[in-house]
Structure 1
């Protein structure tokens, strides 16, 4: 009998407190309905078919009814249902559903999946408005173009930073006013500029002379923003390697823009994606002030300052304080200046979690025989686990975004409870493809008893993950389950989506 079929429990499991202890991130504000929790948990451990009300056969996800499951009053055509409840509950629900589908012989039953908590995105927006009330957020679509995220942010009144015609089309499809879109790619295809103009998107960035000639030829009525080079040496992704005009070249660019009769309305900068030194924003604002002065000398009256992205969740309040002080110092009279920003990962990084199934395992023969006296270096991985998502899929963030995701055990031996006393062993985690670079974790500590069929979870998987996932080797991109959350914010999320007309 396969591992997935061994689900019988010897006795009911009481999850009155264990469901919290095995998941430190689970908020204690979740309704502690012992009957519901134990019904869910023991449904996984029961050999009888586990059936929850409602079954979405298209997505392969179990859906429920009422407050604990699916939100009946928010329905967006073409999108999965919006569930209710804490995301950890839906991670477990997805695992239970996978066991059920595997028992029924479903192909790819154990497929990896995301759970997205839209209430986190909502709270991040409130946090932004509280700390940077003068600055309009223009969400960086490239970070995560998830349709629910875009709709929620649109309903909250954000703008959108788009880097391609595809992104502009995706945002336009949810009826965003073109004035809330900036085409923030300094090097654009002429056909994209032309198509953007037809969509009413005229605000766009530039950082070189050739771009000015191109825009003058294709859309001479564009509203241009000169992107200047800043110090991005303290960021995970140094965008200055590719974009940004040095200040010394700005006067010449503005002179050329005047010669071509183009309308330059402001200045933008980007300190780099994932900036870990908030002082970089102060220096960038100082440079932007110089560029504003250069604009005045060239005959322009700039009215837009775009402070770009790079905002990190952990340092947000510090960054906001430094940024506000710098703006007040260098732009004391800003009554006629519109200030925008391009946050991306700030909104979504922690909103998405990923569950992946252990599909294979390699261990030394001594470990396979159950011997505890294995002569291995305890700091070096002695067991290799293979999961069904990897660097060619959702974990491309390892290669492209310099991330180092770490797993925690979601289910072990058919149980969601992982006792603290379980011995750990240095292990490595690998993706499912046949490429040797497909390594998710080179070294991590996992329980010795972890086996094929168990599940791992990865947090903070919302930024630069699924947006760049491929289907290399024929592996499908992981699907997403959505919840409005389990706290007081859940009702606000649903209300905002409903008010916008869904």
Structure 2
């Protein structure tokens, strides 16, 4: 029998049908996350194959499950942390302080003091106010200047909130740091989460090169370039395409090994590691005459739970069923709702499924990114439990 809170082992291929049958999920109130930790090792291997020069610093905000973070620490990733609690989580997972970047450009002073206590030396900034704050609370920090270079197409654009103007502000921030006796050691950017404009990486790396030259003129030891995140999580062919662009740009603008290149992947590692299994607890048919034009299914998780990615991450989720003989089953236009009383709790507007019944199960693959940390028990509905698996 599978155990919650433990890592269950398996051989060969993870069999979802067998798992949900053995767990008897139909008797559970909450939905079930099935996490395959072996995916993390596969993704790390893929990363090293395509971008061996770039060290991944996992973006903890993407999925802060302690089991996942610990597994990534064992693999050898660094960590991109945005708060003292994320720093604490990474350290407890086994990360060394030098493998953590405090990458939130707008840090509460108490979090900065915690970083000082834990000797987290590298900190991202993008305003003069943040530089003055660091000067007051942690002047020993090594600063990384974050500039804005956003993709034209991204799932979650970030440029409106973070990043200074590379031409107007970045040089001024370096001069300010110099006047205060602070150390600038590099630059960072983030093209946007879920980027689809891959040449944006080339534009940003070219800009970083210019800023490196200016920093060196000021006497700074410019030794770190952070290329941020935005890497696809469930499509390794797209990741290979991104990697080619990044690698070519690095060869052109940063050919020497004296600069450490890091990145902040989140969804790349964890998106495909999770499958969410839900139970249909109610059903409605919209009819015109005797014909059912639309079948509505109400399940035990929704946009206020794990499927918050539909609202907050702009994700287009896909759904699968567990009925046999899928090729010969008649499909019907279907709409899937979450369990709460809010009409915004709509998961999929239109999909085609067989005629399902109350008590049947459905699965949502690629549910590891920006889901678990944001889930809430709104309206009294429980957040999913998680079963962990790892191949032997």
Q: TM-score range by the shorter chain?
A: over 0.9
1:322 counterpart (245, 251, 256): 245
Q: Is 1:127 equivalent to 2:50 in the alignment?
A: no
The reply to whether residue 304 of structure 1 matches residue 252 of structure 2 is no
Q: Spell out the pairing of 1:71-110 with structure 2 (5 A cutoff).
A: 79-85=5-11, 88-98=14-24, 102=27, 109-110=28-29
Structure 2 counterpart SS, 1:427? strand
Aligned to 1:479: 385
Structure-1 separation of matches of 2:211 and 2:151? 18
1:110 CA displacement: 4.3
Query: Where in structure 2 are the equivalents of 1:99-498 lying within 5 Å?
Result: 102=27, 109-247=28-166, 248-313=168-233, 314=235, 315-332=238-255, 334-364=256-286, 373-374=290-291, 376=293, 382-410=294-322, 412=323, 417-448=324-355, 450-484=356-390, 490-491=391-392
Give unpaired runs (5+ residues) of structure 2.
none
Under a length normalisation based on structure 1, what TM-score does the superposition of the two structures give?
A: 0.74
The separation in 1 between residues aligned to 2:381 and 2:227, in whole angstroms, is 39
Cα 1:80–1:89 change in 2 (3 A) is same
From the superposition, tell whether residues 85 and 437 of structure 1 become closer, same or farther in structure 2 (CA, over 3 Å): farther
- Cα distance in 2 for residues equivalent to 1:431 and 1:150: 29
Q: Secondary structure at the match of 1:252?
A: helix
Task: Give the aligned partner of residue 16 of structure 1.
Answer: none
Contact 2:152 2:197 in 1 (8 A): no
> C-alpha deviations, 1:124-157, integer Å up to 9, x for none?
1011111111111101111111222212211111
1:91 and 1:403 mapped to 2: Cα distance? 25
CA contact (8 A) 1:91 1:115 kept: no
SS at match of 1:241: coil
Larger radius of gyration: 1
C-alpha spacing 1:375/1:92, structure 2 compared with 1 (3 Å): closer
Q: 8 Å contact 1:250–1:294 — kept in the other structure?
A: no
| Conserved 8 A contact 2:334-2:352 | yes
Task: Measure, in 1, the Cα distance between the counterparts of 2:62 and 2:115.
Answer: 20
CA contact (8 A) 1:121 1:347 kept: yes
Higher relative contact order, structure no. (Cα contacts within 8 Å, ≥ 6 residues apart): 2
Give the Å deviation of 1:471: 1.1
Maintained 8 Å contact 1:98/1:111: no
**What is the CA distance between 1:366 and its match in structure 2?**
8.0
Shift of 1:89: 1.9
1:76-118 CA distance string (max 9 Å, x none): xxx323332467524532344336x73xxxxxx2421011111
Q: Name the CA distance, whole Å, in 2 between partners of 1:227 and 1:171.
A: 22
Q: Deviations over 1:370-401 (max 9, x none)?
A: xxx5174xxxxx11100000000011101111
Higher strand share: 2
1:303 shift after superposition:
0.6
Q: What is the TM-score when the length of structure 2 is the normalising length?
A: 0.95
Give the aligned partner of residue 8 of structure 1.
none
Write the distance in 1 (CA, Å) between the matches of 2:184 and 2:116.
16
Q: SS at 1:240's partner residue?
A: coil
For the structure 1 residues 87 and 405, does the alpha-carbon distance in structure 2 shift closer, same or farther, using more than 3 Å as the test?
Answer: farther
Kept in 2: contact 1:409–1:418 (CA 8 A): no
**Structure 2 Cα separation of the partners of residues 311 and 55 of structure 1:** 33
Work out the CA distance in 2 between the residues paired with 1:336 and 1:402. Answer: 38
Query: SS of the residue aligned with 2:340?
Result: coil
Paired position in structure 2 for 1:44 = none
1: CA distance, partners of 2:285 / 2:318: 20
